[in-house]
Amino acid sequence: MNHSERLSAQDSSFVLWERRETPMHVGAVAILEAEPLGSADGGIDAARITRHVESRLHLLPRYRQRLAFTPLEGHPVWVDDAHFDLGYHVRRTALPRPGTDGELKALVARILSQRLDRAKPLWEMWIVEGLEGGRFALVTKVHHCMVDGVSGMNLITLLLSRSPEEPPVVAPAWTPAPEPTPFDLLVSESARRARSGGALARGVLAAVRDPAATWSRLRGAGSAIAQALDAGLRTPGATRLNRPIGPHRRVEWLSVDLASAKQVKNRLGGTLNDVVLATVCGALHRFLAKRREWHTRLDYRIVVPVNLRSPGDEPTGGNRVSAYFLSLPIAEANPLRRYDAIQTSTACLKSSRAAEGIELLTQLADRVGGTWLTRLGGHVIDRLRPYNLIVTNVPGPPFPLYILGARLLELIPMLPLFEQQGLGVAVLSYCGRLEFGLIGDRELAPDLGSLSGALVASFAELETLARSRPGKRPLRRKAGKPPREGALRALQ
């Protein structure tokens, strides 16, 4: 039986917006102990790791599927890859011994600069040997149309376990479904549109039967969408990092103590994400000042992705995110005032409906079903450039993980860069550390290493500030209206 699965509007946007200069893959760098996986030749037993990956792929069917495109409209769909070759996706390379962290970062930057081949499943894993200190690295990149920050942890967490003692698992047999022909895809798309038309007719009938309830839902949806458009259509201030980017990248990473970050939160109030954003803000205050990039009226806006999955939902793949738009007070020299401003802003954003409005717009794109609408949204965003920077913060496992007995020492996330966005910051908590992954355009951010140092200094400043405070301070802010339930059902 032929099988295909249509990408959602949100997932397909990362396919449709991808260019040579903006490869749309999410990256991760896992640094592990080398000794438990050492081979007789002094390297790493790559064949054993490959077999381990193979034994887990039945839990991630998307990793053996590739993209196809519907006739006429050109919308992407998933189909099984009849020629799937695991050896193509799991690759082996080495640094000249003893490989330093700086050499590893240069290698990671080159790997993340290369686009994934759309004729094959959209992921790669690189086994990197020769790292000093008895370590090796696994560098993964997965296309953003397959994962977001939360579901992107799937491949890593499925490969890793909480115990160093893990019995081998035999990979179950896999037979790909026959590839659909263009005619099959056309018939499938026609049937989908017929179902959508029937659902729309039923929705109109229900609206006629209960116009008061329908009007209330539509009014709530309109308010949420208006807030989303107001937040997303404002043009921020310009910096030299917000110019057209090229295809080549630089990367840096660092970590800070998670317990210390929680202590800052406990003393200054707010959330752990407020601590992360304040750390980034203080670092940008230093970094952009050194570049002579900011002034007191600069509106420096960031996007903070928001996970839309309910507690307990299994992140099986794809994107389920919305976003907050937030102006960072990077011109503020006082770290306490910076922290208070961020804490106030994030608290107000949580009671706003902008993120809900973005979710409603993606629902609308799925219901309308037109690829043209997704393309139009991409063109509008490219023209307006409504933000300077993306900062994402994903909670990871608080306990140590292992792969085939080798302990995971560090896990560093990496974002893709979008058009005119020369810098990205991703944060992941793992085993008592907050790991910061920085990625920048090679030409626009030649001084990315100085931002890493600025992050360390900014966090130390917050630690010093927190130690001078006896305990959590109450937040004084204007009360926002809580989100009204039911608005997300307005288009259903």
Active site residues: 144
Question: ∠ CA 98-99-102 to the nearest 5 degrees?
Answer: 140
The residue ranges of DSSP E strands in 267-320, in sequence order, are 300-307
Nearest to 169, CA basis, from 159, 178, 179, 177: 159
Distance (Å, rounded) from C-alpha 457 to C-alpha 93?
A: 34
Residue whose entry in the numeric block shows the structure tokens 């009226």: 297
Strand partners, 1: none
| Category of 345 on φ-ψ map: left (φ > 0), alpha (ψ -120 to 50) or beta | alpha
Q: How buried is 360 (Cβ within 10 angstroms: 0-12 exposed, 13-18 middle, 19+ buried)? A: buried
* Residues near 19 by beta carbon (within 8 Å), at least 6 away in sequence: 419
Buried b (16+ CB within 10 A) or exposed e, 101-117: bebbbebbbebbbebbe
Written as one string, the DSSP assignment of 105-127 is HHHHHHHHHSPPPTTS-SEEEEE
User: Are the beta carbons of 112 and 106 closer than 8 angstroms?
Assistant: no
Residue 477 CB neighbours (<10 A): 13
User: Are the beta carbons of 66 and 7 closer than 8 angstroms?
Assistant: no
Question: Side chain identity at 359, as an amino acid letter?
Answer: E
Buried b (16+ CB within 10 A) or exposed e, 293-309: bbeeebebbbbbbbbbe
Count of H helices and E strands in the chain? 13, 15
Torsion of CA 10, 13, 14, 15, to 10 degrees: 130
Question: What φ, ψ does residue 69 adopt, rounded to 5°?
Answer: -135, 140
Q: Is 56 helix (H, G, I), strand (E, B) or coil?
A: coil
Distance (Å, rounded) from C-alpha 356 to C-alpha 422?
A: 28
Distance (Å, rounded) from C-alpha 489 to C-alpha 492?
A: 5
Written as one string, the DSSP assignment of 3-22 is --EEPPHHHHHHHHT-BTTB
User: Are the beta carbons of 245 and 421 closer than 8 angstroms?
Assistant: yes
DSSP 432: T
Strand partners, 123: 142
